[in-house]
Structure 1
Amino acid sequence: MPKPRKTLIAVESTPYYHCVARCVRRAFLCGVDTFTGQNYEHRRAWLEDRLLELPKVFAIDIAAYAIMSNHYHVILHINTDRAKSWSDYEIVERWHQLFNGTVLSQKYLKNEGELSKVEMLVFQETIDEWRSRLLDISWFMRILNEAVAREANAEDGCTGRFWEGRFKSQALLDEAALMACMAYVDLNPIRAKMAGTPEKSDHTSIKKRCEKAVESSNPNHINQQEKSLYPFVGNPKEGQPEGIQMRLSDYLELVDSTGRVLRKDKRGAISAGAEKILDRLDVDEDQWLEMTSNFEGCFSSFVGGESSLRMACENMNYQRPPGLVTCKLMFH
């Protein structure tokens, strides 16, 4: 029986989560449905636009994404510090970008944050709840999926479920797990033969990062990276700004090198530069290729080295670490 979502999220163990949502109907979410011949390619833009807009409201960042024919992948970063920095007024303003709110919240905004003491005592509980929801990946995925489902149902002239009842979620517990999952997501269109190279993969984070990198004089500088995506800030060191602890150029080289190996129609090998990155991540080349080609099949709900996995399970009161044997095998 599937575990409740709250038992799979442990922000104190990791802020990174790989989520996958799949369409339930025979008709495709996007692309061309081989059964009916109908072209739904425009829906990929619907989903991508909405996906990249929501982080402007939520305290959640997009590390990577890939929109496929009947499902999509996204790696989310829960930004707890950002949510804590928002004032109560900002929380209400942000929630009203998603919903109409309540009578008290509308009055609160109209009066520029002023309510009576009794009203504020009651309303504070609502604000606190909304703050927690703006950190919640279940709420993020719910709002994203509902928006696309409504548009798709209206276009198809039907009602009912468009997505599976539950999206899949995997906690990425350390840097090696995060990098392997990001590469897996970014290379999805290559494996599916939807594109020949990462930079030509439409509706993916890797294409956005590559396009911005080509335009930048210094692609590794945080201010010259794609603004809609969580930035790469360089290799781990003290005093770093917030972001993914790897150089963007190193990650792009790693993905490009991995993609060449995964393509069956072209000979390729992991480059010397990519090997150095794998050494720093303490991941064997064969294990890396297995993870980046079959990440979902390799792991269950938690992904990372043995120490990271045991710590996360201890924080969440798990009696036995799930997937421990696989994690020990894949990560040194």
Structure 2
Amino acid sequence: MPRPRKSLISLSDTPYYHCVSRCVRRAFLCGKDKFSGQSYEHRRQWVENRLLFLGSVFAIDICAYAVMSNHTHVVLHIDRNTAVQWSTEQVLQRWHRLHKGTVLTQRYLNLVERNALSSAEIETVENTAAIYRERLYDISWFMRLLNEYIARQANKEDDCTGRFWEGRFKSQALLDETALAACMVYVDLNPVRAGIARTPGQSLYTSVRKRLRAIKHNKQPKALSPFNGKSYKRTSVSLPFLLSDYFELIEQTGRQFHPAKRGRITNEVPILAKAGLNITDWYWLINNIENEFTTKIGLSSIHQKLENRSRRVIA
């Protein structure tokens, strides 16, 4: 039986989570249906646009994403501290970008009508805003508003009804820098691993492509969490790596999936050296993030998996 989502998302453990949604239909989320010959490639743009839009509304930062043929990956950071600092007006303005709200919340945002509200009505609005505020840093609401929107668009295009996704999205808590770095690399290199792109720069509808295009102008994408290189902090809104270090890790890891560009990660890569993992262990981790780990990933569990693996090999 699946565990309740509230038991899987715990800000006291970590603000970082890897979420995966898989499509249930034969026709796939995107790509080309080999039976009908119809292409659904344009739906990748739907997902990317909706994902980035939600990131601008929620107090949830997008660290990495990849839109694949029949599933999507996102690595998210919950920024509860920012949501708590929003005023009632800011919360309502954000929520109204997603939903109509109530008659009272709509009146509250009209300064003329707000002055005519009674104290009881004001209190009702503030209580409603408190509910909206919690939703705006809730990953379940974020994924719900992503997946439901895409499902409705696809059903309308296909002129049908019914389930589009395989029920609930899967989530993995990323407990430390090692887990965060490994999962982001795993997500960003998904198209390369799947053989649908030769390089990260050619991986359409991914965060790594967006970052690579921005770095050409010496910038970082505003829609994605920036890199700052500081230590892992639960309250930080920036990724705890240097952008140059992350790109180096992406480049050298990606070479292992390209038959013409085989390379070897050197021990000087800071992110890998800090994790205390050798090259073989790192490649095993990148290839087994979804298979070997269920709801949580952390350095201690990684080392435990590697130790168990070594014992099986010796035996």
Asked if TM exceeds 0.5, the reply is yes
| Structure 2 residues without counterparts, runs of 5 or longer | 310-315
- Give the letter for the 1:102 counterpart: T
Please state how far the C-alpha of 1:200 moved relative to its aligned partner.
Answer: 1.0
Residue 220 of structure 1 aligns with which residue? Answer: none
Residue 312 of structure 1 aligns with which residue? Answer: none
Residue 49 of structure 1 aligns with which residue? Answer: 49
1:79-98 to 2 correspondences below 5 Å: 79-98=79-98
- Give the letter for the 2:162 counterpart: G
1:244-255 to 2 correspondences below 5 Å: 244-255=239-250
Residue 326 of structure 1 aligns with which residue? Answer: 305
Match for residue 226 of structure 1 among 221, 225, 249: 221
Please state how far the C-alpha of 1:237 moved relative to its aligned partner.
Answer: 9.2
| Structure 1 residues without counterparts, runs of 5 or longer | 217-223, 310-322
Residue 287 of structure 1 aligns with which residue? Answer: 281
Please state how far the C-alpha of 1:169 moved relative to its aligned partner.
Answer: 0.3
**RMSD of equivalent CA atoms:** 2.1
- Give the letter for the 1:191 counterpart: R
Decide whether the 8 Å contact of 2:61 with 2:76 is kept in 1.
yes
- Give the letter for the 1:326 counterpart: K
Give yes or no for the alignment of 1:263 onto 2:258: yes
Residue 277 of structure 1 aligns with which residue? Answer: 271
Residue 9 of structure 2 aligns with which residue? Answer: 9
- Give the letter for the 1:170 counterpart: Q
Please list the CA deviations of residues 141-161 of structure 1 after superposition, one character each: whole Å capped at 9, or x if unmatched: 111111111111111111111
With structure 1 as the length reference, what TM-score do the two structures score?
A: 0.87
In the aligned structure 2, how far is the partner of 1:36 from the partner of 1:294?
Answer: 33
Match for residue 134 of structure 2 among 117, 129, 132: 132
Between Structure 1 and Structure 2, how many residues are aligned? 306
In the aligned structure 2, how far is the partner of 1:63 from the partner of 1:92?
Answer: 25
- Give the letter for the 1:295 counterpart: I
Please state how far the C-alpha of 1:85 moved relative to its aligned partner.
Answer: 1.4
**Cα distance change on mapping 1:91 and 1:190 into 2, 3 Å:** same
In the aligned structure 1, how far is the partner of 2:50 from the partner of 2:304?
Answer: 38
Please state how far the C-alpha of 1:241 moved relative to its aligned partner.
Answer: 7.0
In the aligned structure 1, how far is the partner of 2:161 from the partner of 2:175?
Answer: 39
Please state how far the C-alpha of 1:325 moved relative to its aligned partner.
Answer: 4.0
- Give the letter for the 1:97 counterpart: R
Match for residue 292 of structure 2 among 279, 294, 298: 298
**Cα distance change on mapping 1:267 and 1:300 into 2, 3 Å:** same
> Which one is further off, 28-37 or 180-189?
28-37
